[in-house]
């Protein structure tokens, strides 16, 4: 459900905030039957695990689950087709084993003119015990489109309870951070003047990859990103690796059936245990050649190497050589410092994180 950038002004969080707070013209009221919440519940399947012997579902599949639940929430509120514009600030706190019951909760936190800021929680439980614990949470932004593919005005979500107001404040507290990170990411260039560890996957987008609007699922694309970044870090370390953080996943244009897809994962920084990978997903008409594929998605991912018991290992250290590599290493550090500087408020209240399943 990748967002289209033909209407950039409608997708900028800052401009949406201005439209919704400074103008009362044409404000739609949400009818009572619209629900701001969706919950999906299912079992994690063996096919959700990326590698044989892995301790749990890989991060890309979790991102796909989140995208699916958030899409259902967005469409239910907007009552129209919606596309993913942004996914970010996801800490994968623990593995979700195959066979465990999974619950993905999505709820509207804030609406702009056409955008919906949706808070998502992923929890899981051993079905024999029924005690759900949180695995991760994140914010996803969707944009509503009309029948012509243009952004459309949606009903305004008005929080009423103290918890709903707290969640709205938490979502709003992240807007300036997102803008600062996006500006920093857009300043960077990626060329072949690099000796950094890199892995590129190329393939055609298949009909089974598309959503109800005819474009590739945002969740499917994020799974491709995780797979490429996982392979890149495993190739570098010689060990099994797992995603621990995903941030700043931005969707610029849709990916269509038959497009040539190129997923380029480049290691840009290592710390004591972590490895930061920048991933660009490019896609376009294969007749144009691989050198002319526009960027569809840009993501920042963090991984750690683990042993057979899932314990973190020391990262094999990467030393940048070229000027571009040194600049991108500093870029990764800048992104981390920005997140520390802004300190966004928690999306999920600690009291809401664990519960026992009762049918």
CATH of the domain at 217: 3.10.129.10
The verdict on 148 and 216 lying in the same domain is no
The verdict on 128 and 216 lying in the same domain is no
The verdict on 103 and 237 lying in the same domain is no
pLDDT in the model for residue 357: 44
The verdict on 323 and 239 lying in the same domain is yes
CB 96 within 8 A of CB 56: yes
The verdict on 104 and 163 lying in the same domain is yes
Q: What is the extent of the structural domain holding 313? A: 198-341
Give me the average pLDDT of each 10-residue run along the chain (359 residues): 42 37 45 84 94 88 97 97 93 94 98 98 96 95 95 97 95 93 94 97 94 88 98 98 93 95 98 98 93 95 95 97 98 93 80 49
Residue 20 lies in a domain: yes
pLDDT in the model for residue 9: 40
pLDDT in the model for residue 352: 54
The verdict on 17 and 133 lying in the same domain is yes
The verdict on 154 and 208 lying in the same domain is no
The verdict on 24 and 158 lying in the same domain is yes
pLDDT in the model for residue 28: 54
Structure tokens at 336: 């981390």
pLDDT in the model for residue 100: 97
The verdict on 203 and 247 lying in the same domain is yes
CA atoms lying within 13 Å on the CB side of residue 89: 29
Q: What pTM, to 2 d.p., does this model score?
A: 0.87
Residue 180 lies in a domain: no
Residue 162 lies in a domain: yes
If you search the block for the tokens 């690796």, which residue do you land on? 241
Residue 37 lies in a domain: yes
Residue 179 lies in a domain: no
Domain count, the chain: 2
The verdict on 224 and 330 lying in the same domain is yes
Residue 97 lies in a domain: yes
Residue 26: count of CB within 10 angstroms of its CB: 7
The verdict on 56 and 168 lying in the same domain is yes
The verdict on 148 and 294 lying in the same domain is no
Give the residue from 348, 346, 350, 344 showing the smallest Cα distance to 107.
Answer: 348
């Amino acid at each position: 459900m990748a967002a289209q950038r033909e209407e950039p002004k409608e997708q900028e969080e800052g401009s949406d905030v201005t439209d919704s707070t400074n103008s009362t013209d044409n404000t739609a009221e949400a009818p009572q039957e619209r629900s701001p919440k969706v919950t999906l519940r299912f079992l994690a399947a063996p096919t959700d695990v990326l590698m044989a012997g892995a301790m749990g579902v890989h991060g890309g599949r979790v991102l796909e689950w989140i995208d699916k639940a958030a899409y259902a929430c967005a469409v239910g509120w907007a009552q129209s087709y919606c596309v993913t514009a942004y996914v970010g600030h996801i800490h994968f706190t623990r593995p979700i084993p195959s066979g465990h019951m999974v619950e993905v909760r999505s709820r509207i936190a804030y609406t702009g003119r056409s955008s919906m800021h949706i808070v998502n929680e992923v929890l899981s439980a051993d079905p024999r015990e029924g005690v759900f614990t949180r695995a991760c949470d994140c914010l996803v932004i969707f944009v509503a489109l009309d029948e012509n593919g243009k952004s459309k005005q949606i009903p305004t979500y008005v929080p009423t309870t103290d918890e709903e107001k707290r969640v709205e404040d938490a979502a709003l507290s992240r807007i300036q951070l997102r803008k600062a990170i996006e500006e920093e990411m857009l300043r960077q260039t990626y060329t072949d003047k690099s000796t950094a560890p890199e892995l590129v996957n190329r393939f055609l987008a298949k009909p089974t990859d598309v959503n109800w609007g005819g474009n590739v699922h945002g969740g499917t694309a994020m799974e491709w990103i995780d797979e490429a970044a996982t392979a890149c870090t495993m190739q570098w370390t010689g060990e099994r690796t797992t995603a621990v953080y995903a941030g700043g996943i931005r969707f610029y244009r849709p990916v269509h059936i038959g497009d040539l897809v190129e997923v380029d994962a480049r290691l840009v920084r290592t710390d004591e245990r972590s490895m930061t990978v920048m991933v660009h997903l490019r896609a376009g008409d294969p007749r144009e050649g691989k050198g002319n594929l526009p960027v569809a998605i840009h993501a920042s991912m963090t991984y750690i190497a683990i042993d057979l018991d899932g314990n973190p290992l020391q990262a094999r250290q990467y030393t940048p050589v070229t000027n571009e590599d040194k600049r991108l290493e500093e870029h990764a550090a800048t992104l981390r410092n920005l997140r520390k500087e802004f300190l966004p408020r928690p999306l999920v209240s600690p009291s809401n994180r664990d519960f026992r399943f009762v049918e």
